[in-house]
Amino acid sequence: MGWDRRRFKRHASRAVSQRQELSTTFGGIDHDVERLFFQLSPEKIELLFDRYEVKYGRQPANYARNAYPKWKNGSVKLSGQTAERLLNLVPPLLPFETRFELIKKLRRAKFHKANLYVRTTPERWRDDLGPVIAKLIGHGNKAMLPDRIKGRVAWLANGDAAATEKLLLAADQEEAINRLAYLNAEFARMDAMLTQLEQYQTSVSHTINLPQGTIQVSIEIPKVSFFERFKNWLGR
């Protein structure tokens, strides 16, 4: 009996570990899919179990049908294996807008924003910043979902999901352009501020936030000697 208990604990621990790995790999959308699974109409639930049987076999499908009420009331937790199967089967039954949001969340979770730094001068900061902004926006192309993830969930590899990724990439680029257009006015204020700085101030810092990441800008102001400050004071 003790051996059975230990085996059960190992099985339960392995199931928890599988679910944690699934959530990490798929950015937590497995929990969204689980919630949406329990919101499906009876007709779609039956269609899902039919597809479950075709894909995974009669016995697993019968188990899923019998376990469904317990999964729904929370008395039994979904295993990592079952959650991954639902990750394959539920989204194709959902409206495009819902799948769009799932892909958007997954894409955001798997994309690592870049953090770039520019040190420049009042005379060169526009020229130095341009290529860095272009590099950051180009980094957004890496936000496409990795093939290893698409390989585990079939619907992520179809044309519908690919079109969604392109839409999201275009949206990020458009947002970046809109923010940069706003920054033009901000840069004009920075130019005005730079001309009005007190002579003892040595730098101005600014952070540019874009969907693809951030750019830390440090504008270094050349130090003015005491003689030059005194000369400027006399010339007032």
CA-CA distances (angstroms) from residue 104 to 17, 97, 168, 199?
Answer: 25, 10, 7, 48
Question: What tens digit of pLDDT does each residue of 5-55 get?
Answer: 555 455 555 656 888 999 999 999 999 999 999 999 999 999 999 999 999
- Phi and psi at 123, nearest 5°, equal -80, -30
Task: Reply yes or no on whether the pLDDT at 140 is more than 60.
Answer: yes
Tell me how many degrees the CA angle 186-191-193 measures, rounded to the nearest 5.
90
Question: What tens digit of pLDDT does each residue of 97-137 get?
Answer: 999 999 989 988 988 999 999 998 888 888 898 899 889 88
Task: Reply yes or no on whether the pLDDT at 197 is more than 70.
Answer: no
Q: Average pLDDT over the chain, rounded to whole?
A: 83
Q: Are 195 and 219 in contact (CB under 8 A)?
A: no
Rg (C-alpha) for the chain, rounded Å, is 28
Lowest mean pLDDT among 17-21, 136-140, 158-162, 166-170: 158-162
**HSE-CB of 217 using CA atoms within 13 angstroms:** 22
188 pLDDT band (50/70/90 cuts)?
Answer: confident
pLDDT score for 220: 81
